[in-house]
Homo-oligomer: A and B are copies of this chain.
Amino acid sequence: MAGVAPLTADEAAFFRALMEMVASLRQQLDLDLIRSAGLTANEYSILRCLSEASNRECRMAELASAACVSPSRMSRLVDDLRDRGLVEKRPISTDRRGYVAKLTTAGVERLNSAWPAHIASVRRRVFDHLDPAILAIAADALSSVAATMKEGASGLTDPACAGGGGRIAR
> Footprint of B on A, CB under 8 Å?
1, 4-7, 10-11, 13-26, 28, 31-32, 34-39, 68, 110, 113-127, 129-132, 134-136, 138-146, 148-150, 153, 155-156, 158, 160-170
A13-B139, A24-B150, A129-B145 are known; give 10 further A-B pairs, CB within 8 A: A14-B136, A17-B140, A17-B142, A19-B22, A28-B149, A28-B155, A37-B166, A125-B149, A129-B144, A131-B141
Q: Which residues of B contact A170 (CB under 8 A)?
A: 34
Query: What is the minimal beta-carbon distance from A158 to any residue of chain B, in angstroms?
Result: 7
Query: What is the minimal beta-carbon distance from A114 to any residue of chain B, in angstroms?
Result: 5
CB-based contact A135/B68 at 8 Å: no
Query: Assuming the A-B contacts A22-B18, A28-B149, A125-B148, are A168 and B136 also in contact, with contact meaning beta carbons closer than 8 angstroms in the complex?
Result: no
CB-based contact A169/B38 at 8 Å: yes
CB-based contact B24/A122 at 8 Å: no
Nearest neighbor of A133 in chain B, beta-carbon distance: B10
CB-based contact B21/A165 at 8 Å: no
CB-based contact B161/A32 at 8 Å: yes
